[in-house]
Structure formats: C-alpha cells, structure tokens
Structure 1
Amino acid sequence: MEKTTSQKIRLGLFVIIGLLIFILAVYFIGDKQKMFGKTNHLEAIFNNVNGLQLGNNVRYSGINVGTVRAIEMINDSTIKVDMLIDKTIFHNIRKNAIATIGSDGLVGSMIINIIPGKGTAVSLEPGDEIHSLSRIRTDDMLNTLGVTNKNAALLTTDLLKITKEITQGKGTVGLLIKDSILANDLKETMHYLKITGKTTSESVTKINELISSLDNKNNVIGVLKDTAVANNIKTIVRNLDESSNKIDKVITNLNSTIVNIKEGKGAINYLSNDPNLVRKIDSTMKNINEASFRLNENMEALKHNFLFRGYFKKQGKAKLKEQKK
C-alpha cells in the first residue's frame, strides 16, 4: 500500500524533529563536557582518585570550569589526571592552586575541586601541573563514624551505670545527693566560704585604700616621702652623728681624768686622799668661823661705842629710807 503525501510529510517532520533533538542533545552534552568551546589542558597527580571517572566535573571556587579528560595510572601510588579547563577561566588559576577530589553532595558523583592558593603567584600555562591534596574518603569517614558510634554506645552504657549508682546513693556524688545531713553541712560550709570571701574582699579594699593614702602628705609615710623632710632628717641625723662623736671624745677625756684620779694624779686626788690636808682644811675652816664670830662681837661693840654710835645710826636711817622706797 502506497503512503499518502500527508504520511510522508509527517514522517519527514518526525525525522527532522528527531534529528534536531539529537543535535541539541549532542550540543548541550558537548558544551557541558567542554567539547566545543576553547579549552586548555591542566594536570594533577593523586595517589587515590576515589572513584573519579572520565567526564566528571572540575570546579574552581565552586564554579564548573571543566571536565576530566583522562586518567592515567603511572604506578601503584601515582595517578595523573588530565583536565580540560575553560580558556576564559584558565588565566585566573594560579600556580599555587591545590586540586582535591570530593563528591558532589553526600552520595553524588566525584568531582575535582580546585582551591585557590594563599598569597600571590603567576598564572598557569597550558599543560601545567598543580599540587594535589588527598582528603578523607567517604568509606573512611563511615568507618570512623562506626567506631565513634560504638564508643558512644559504650560511653552511654557507662553513663547509665554511673547515673543508676548516683540515684541509689552510691559513691561520693550519690552520697552528696542523697545524704541530707552532708548536704546541709556542705551548704553551711559554702555559706561560711562566701562570708570569708566577702570579708577578704573588704580587707583587700581597705589595704588598697591604705596603699593609696601613702602618697598623701598629711600622714607619716607621705611626710617621709617629701624630699624637703627627707633632707631635714638627713641633716638631723648628720648632726646627731657629729654630736655623738663629740660626746665620745668628752667621755674619753672623762675616762682619762677618772683614771688619773684613781692613780693618784692631779689636785683632786691629792685633796681627796691626803688626810693631813683634810685636817688642815678643817682646822682652817674652824679658825675662820671663830674669827668671824669674834669680828661680829667687835662690830657689835663698836656700835655701842660713843665714837662710832652716830655713824651706825646714820647707816640705820639710810637703810630704813631705802626699804620704804
């Protein structure tokens, strides 16, 4: 049965639309894989690619800038990865950049992240190799999490055991919680400690005030810190030192005099130790007293003598006038 014209037209449209869809799909996929744009090669060396595959994305500062072109195993610990990087972004990557392999999300496909380096460096040239950094793989993280969960379970078991003993009043903590007498004693102790701390704080405040008042010139310490007072004190001390030296000299002379007196030297020792001289002095004083007594008798006799009576009367009147004045 021959096909009608409408059927042929619909078949042609279907083929054309399918071809356009295929071309668009190839274009978008190729554009995503950087197959049609201008790109430059960039290499990195890893010791483990963690499941990286051809065509995986390459990101620079979180932006998709290329794809993985080739993965070549050099030896058992060295794997070279060749990347195609968009030429418009390539000149922004520096030689101190670092390449790491990570996952696109928690369980997504693997990607290469290029991290900008610190400081300044020159731009990369096509075909250059950048440093790499191996991160912890997901399997390692899961293993670590498994060990951590196991340890957490053991820790939880121990905590439950400890909590049970505390609630039963066992151990020091349980005794503190359950024993009301001990709790009251501890509360009273804390009260006294609080009072002691308050008293200590007040004492420290008073000590600080006392130390601050030392610079005040109205107290003794402040006066002593005054330079003028200090100079006066120095002068007084110096004068006292000189006076002390002079007193020492006087005491030395007195000691020498006393020694001379004890040894019988000088007039004082002669006067004090010679008994004949003492008797003569006593006799002389006795004669002087007798002569004075006789002189008084003679003077009294002269007063009654008619030759001198007038003279003594005049003397008596003159004394009375002076006493009245």
Structure 2
Amino acid sequence: MALIAALYLIGSNRNIFSNTIKISSQFYNVNGLIPGNNVRYAGIDIGTVEKIKIENDSNVTVYMIIEKNNSIYIKKNSIASVGTDGLMGNKLININPGSGSAPTIEEGDVLISLRPIENDEMIRTLNTTNQNLEAITEDLKNFTSRLNKSRGILKLIEDSVSADNIRQTLAVIRDAAVNANNITLQLNKLATELNNGKGLAATLIRDTVISYELKTTISNLQQTSDSLNLISQELSQFSKQLNNKNSLLHAVSADTALAGNVKDGIENLKLSTELLNENLKAMRSNFLFRRYFKKNP
C-alpha cells in the first residue's frame, strides 16, 4: 500500500522530493479544482495544489506547493486564477506575472485572485444580451415604420390654418419686441429728466421706492425686448429647418406627440406676447408717461 501511495503522489506531481514553499490564494469559486492539480506560471508547471478549504459561503482557500527554484520569478503582486488545461482538460491554477519592482513570494504568502469566468453565467449573460438586441432592433423597426407612415409636424406645418398661426405668432413677437424696445428708450429718456429734476413726473417719483421700481421696470423691459428678439430669430431658424428635407429636425418631426407639443407651445407663446403688448399699451396711457410715447397710428 505504501508503494501505491508513493507512486500516486509522484504521478500527481506532489513535489515530495523537491525543495518547496507553500503559498495560498482565496477564490469565490474554484470550478471543480481538486488537490493534485497543477500550478502553472508563464505556461510552465511549477507546483501543485496541496489542499482546498471552504472558509465560508463565498470564500474558498487554495493552498499550493511551489518549487522553490521557480518561486524566485513570482512576485508578490502576481494574480492567481482557476483555468483549464486545454479545452476539456483538468483544472489548474494559473499564476499571472506581477509587475513593477515588487519583491518575490515567500513562505506563507497569499496571492490575490481573479474571479473565474463561469460558463453558465456567461451563457446566461449572452442570452440576455441577445434578447436586448432583439428588442432594440424591433424598436428601431417600429420607429422607422412610424417615420414612413406618419406626417406629424410636417402635416402640422402644411396645414394652412397652422401655418397661418405660426406666421401670426412670429408677427406678434416681432411687434412686441419693437414696442418693448421703443418703450425702453422712452423710459430711459424719462429717467434722465427725473435725474435732472424736470417735469411733473420728477416731483411725483422722487420717492426712493417708486424710483427703484421704475429702474427695475426699465431693466425688465430691456431683457424682455432682447428675449423676444432672440425667440423670433430662433423660431425663424426652426421654420427653415423644418422646410429643409436634409435636416435631422425634418426627419424627427414625424412624431405626432411632438407636433402637438409644438402647437401648444406656439399658442402659449402667442398669448404671452399679446398680453405683453396689452401691458405696454396700458403703460402708454398712464398720465405719468403719456407724453413720452409716440401714439401709434
């Protein structure tokens, strides 16, 4: 029996007659690794697995016997991983070379490990990825189909009533911008007279609170004027892009929901600018400011 045991140990590369050191590494899963399997470094067998110990439900320690004459090439920052000898061969431990100027391993060192790739998990991941790609492909097909069948914003623009609304809105915005700009100029003129103490308005508006509110109003009107000019330019550019069949906006505009949002936005913008014009008109009629504004024909 002793002879059989000795032959088994020799056949299993247990390194019983060589000068060795013992090291270990901890793994989440050893994938069928057993004592006696080879330990390989840079493609060369340098030792064997001595024993395997389950520490807890997520940690398995593998103890290895390494030939000492080969251990001088293994650095402390080398990485151990569970591999296979060939495509269908026995499991083994692969030690990947470390880097830098790290010292070489010593008796009792613990190497960091690389979690092995599990075939079942990889297949499940690939299957999930394939299903996701199928779903994405189907969504793209549906999106393309909707682009081909739906008119969306293009239909909205071609509709004569909608087109008229857009043109009217642009006109209202431009008028509001001009009015706001003119009123701002006149209010600046008024502010100059106030500073010089001239006119009835100067007497009534010497109060610091009213003066501050007037300055704030002038500043807000200037910002409103600038904003309206910018909106007018952007809407004009938007209209040009819609008419350009080569633009991305033209392609995306087939979405019906987006068309509805644009239509609602245009209507809200039109109402807002009309309200601004009414407020500006009321300011023109105020007895304090009436003489500073030219009457519209």
Same fold by TM-score greater than 0.5? no
Higher relative contact order (CA 8 A, sep 6+): 2
TM interval, shorter chain, is: 0.3 to 0.5
**When the two structures are superposed, what TM-score results if normalisation uses the length of structure 1?**
0.39
Greater per-residue helix proportion: 1
Task: Report the TM-score when normalising by structure 2.
Answer: 0.43
Of structures 1 and 2, the larger Rg is shown by: 1
